[in-house]
Amino acid sequence: MRNNNPYLPYPVRIKRVEIATEDRSLRTFELEFLHQEDADAFRYLPGQFAELSVPGYGEAPIGIASSPTEGDTLLFTVSKAGLLTSHLHSMSEGDVMGVRGPLGKSYPLQEMEGKNVLILAGGYAVTTLRSTMVWLLHPDNRPKYGDITFVYGARTPGMILYKELLEEWETNSDANIHLTIDNEAPGWDKHVGFVPQIAEKIEPSPQNAMALVCGPPVMIKFTQPVLDKQGWQSDQIIMSLENRMKCGIGICGRCNVGPHYVCKDGPVFSKAELDELPKEY
Amino acid sequence: MQDKILDKSEVDALLERLGSEYDVYAPLRDQQGSVEWAALDSSSDLVWDFSNTGVSPKRFVFPQTECMMRFNNRSDDPEGMIMKQEQGLQRQQALLNIRPCDAKALKALDSIYCRDQTSNDVYWRDKREKTLYVGLACKSPCPTCFCTSVRCGPHYEEGLDILLVDLGERLLVRTLSEKGAELASNLSDAPDEAKQQAAQQKEEAEAAVRSQVGLENIQSRGIMELYEAPMWDREHESCLNCGVCTYVCPTCHCFDIQDETQGEHGRRVRNWDTCMSWLFTYHTSGHNPRGTKKDRFRQRFMHKFKYMPYKFDVIGCVGCGRCTQSCPVNIDVTEVVGEMNEPDLN
């Protein structure tokens, strides 16, 4: 990191802002580094996150939605929720802010090699799984993995993120893409129902496979029994946690789950690991 | 390690030497009669007979509020909104007469603050490296002290550059680092009787630490077994979550980061924070993973006595007893930890 100070954000410029959902609660920001050497230093993998730093407002930990295979700019999809993210939603292309990272551990991409991959995503938790999919489908990486099944649920068609990319995957990739919305909607001809129901319907085999599950707590809660019934073991299920964070490097003391810091030792944990820890997330 | 001798009447010479290179701080008696850390002006102000300061000296390495970086709060300025790192400590500092437990606390926290290359807290490290630790061995431990139970003690040396042992008119000066050796280089070697006197004092001081607590069962127990123990339902009840224990504690090291602006000036600061506050873990969504008083009470003890030993092989406590002394509802750390260590956890 710059000057070896892990708290000092890299200056970045907002290259592009896009209103990502029909309810305007999510915006996708494409950020470009002001200095090429910072872009070179920011080496990340899918599943990692960064602190988005808006001087005067603070920082917020947000999952990186882009894949390192996409070039030097970074993509973040941010929900308008608190002080900082509300201000971020008012910022425009060309504005300067900061990015600090990459932080945390990535998804276990090496451990997943040679295996089938099941991805279950709900709502805007899909961000780091977008990163993962882009990375997995890249020609350099695709041959190392078996079948890829991607299930993604949103409340309505208008709440689905990254639509163009999903269409691209549906038509041009060999991944099994399953999109679902909560209730029937005019013009929608794909799945209808919650992610756990779709997981039940498509019956993904746990044989030589790993599952990445990321979504709101209610999705996790109802997905788990489905995976259990299908014979998935807890060390095959990978999850990503969120907790309130400040430092992002395992020092400031608030995001711990038992002895582990979500920011540094996570955010990615296997369900087997989480089963041994307090549910403080 | 070398033992030197210094007559108390010659402390001035040592201080002069210190003062030329360091800003010197020491526990001094304030107007209210309590002993707290302050800048030392004259050797006559030095206090040799005190238990310990009410507040730990952690602020010299980890200030209660610390500016981390500054920025120009103008988006129309090409240099605006870009964080600039704040300069480090301008002058070295010496903590004179620091108690061995307080020095050990800082040493223990190095394993968190300087855990590895990515978790390298430059602000912490800067001040750690620019600080000289001249310890004063404890003669008469408080009734609340239990340092000998937590891998520490009244003459504990780790984390110090020099350990002073008060022999009445004289001080035994034990050098424990290169910096310490250099400072004491012109002192004469301690005579054997002085060394013996210091050794005897150590034995007596250790024996005077009456409060004891075992940790062996805590170590062997699983995290969830301790976490789910019924004892927390009882022990947390009187706690007010006031956070004074975390304020006075030499090893409590949690912090918050906040931005402050005034006109076009902006800075990012870190402030001491406390796990006793609900806000500490509160998500923007409204969810709180440690939403109850019990959750927060348990976190403080689990963090120090289970999580830190598990993760970093250091106990997050040096047995100074400050939390017990300052707790408004008389929660005694040794009682809670004693419960965690009971053979029959309940």
**Domain, as residue range, for B61:** 2-340
B66 in A contact zone (CB under 8 Å): no
| Residue pair A22/A160 in contact by the 8 Å Cβ criterion | no
| Residue pair B56/B250 in contact by the 8 Å Cβ criterion | yes
Could you report the per-residue pLDDT of B290-307, keeping only the tens digit for each? 999 999 999 999 999 999
Helix (H) and strand (E) counts in chain B: 13, 12
Q: How far apart are CA A121 and CA A65, in angstroms?
A: 13
Taking CA atoms, what residue in B is nearest to A279? B289
8 Å CB contact of B281 and A254: yes
- A53, A59, A259: residue with CB nearest B307: A259
Q: How far apart are CA B165 and CA B172, in angstroms?
A: 5
Contacts of A35 in chain B (CB under 8 A): none
Q: How far apart are CA A254 and CA B256, in angstroms?
A: 9
Contacts of A243 in chain B (CB under 8 A): 281, 283, 289
Could you report the per-residue pLDDT of A111-156, keeping only the tens digit for each? 999 999 999 999 999 999 999 999 999 999 999 999 999 999 999 9
pLDDT surpassing 60 at residue A2 = no
| Residue pair B196/B167 in contact by the 8 Å Cβ criterion | no
* Token pair 């003669």 in the structure block, residue: B139
- A97, A250, A253: residue with CB nearest B81: A97
Could you report the per-residue pLDDT of A69-94, keeping only the tens digit for each? 999 999 999 999 999 999 999 999 99
Q: How far apart are CA B129 and CA B125, in angstroms?
A: 6
pLDDT surpassing 60 at residue A98 = yes
* Alpha-carbon dihedral B51, B54, B57, B58, rounded to 10 degrees: 130
Average pLDDT, chain A: 96
Average pLDDT over residues B88-97: 96
In-domain check, residue B346: no
Average pLDDT over residues B324-341: 97
Average pLDDT over residues B15-21: 91
B304 in A contact zone (CB under 8 Å): no
B282 in A contact zone (CB under 8 Å): yes
Q: How far apart are CA B116 and CA B225, in angstroms?
A: 30
Q: How far apart are CA B250 and CA B62, in angstroms?
A: 10
8 Å CB contact of A58 and B259: yes
Number of domains in chain B: 1
In-domain check, residue B45: yes
Q: Considering chain B, what percentage of its residues have pLDDT values greater than 70?
A: 100
Treating both helix axes as pointing N-terminal to C-terminal, what angle do A195-202 and A217-229 enclose, rounded to 10 degrees? 20
* Residue B295 main-chain phi, psi, to 5 deg: -55, -45
Could you report the per-residue pLDDT of B112-163, keeping only the tens digit for each? 999 999 999 999 999 999 999 999 999 989 999 999 999 999 999 999 999 9
- A34, A251, A258: residue with CB nearest B119: A251
In-domain check, residue B345: no
pLDDT surpassing 90 at residue B14 = no
- Provide the β-strand partners of residue B95: B25, B133
8 Å CB contact of A9 and B83: yes
Domains along the sequence of chain A with CATH: 2-103 (2.40.30.10), 116-240 (3.40.50.80)
pLDDT surpassing 70 at residue A1 = no
Q: How far apart are CA A180 and CA A190, in angstroms?
A: 6
Residue B110, pLDDT score: 97
3-state secondary structure of B31: coil
Residue A3, pLDDT score: 58
Q: How far apart are CA A63 and CA A48, in angstroms?
A: 6
Q: Degrees (nearest 5) of the Cα angle A142, A147, A153?
A: 100
Chain mean position to CA A61: 12
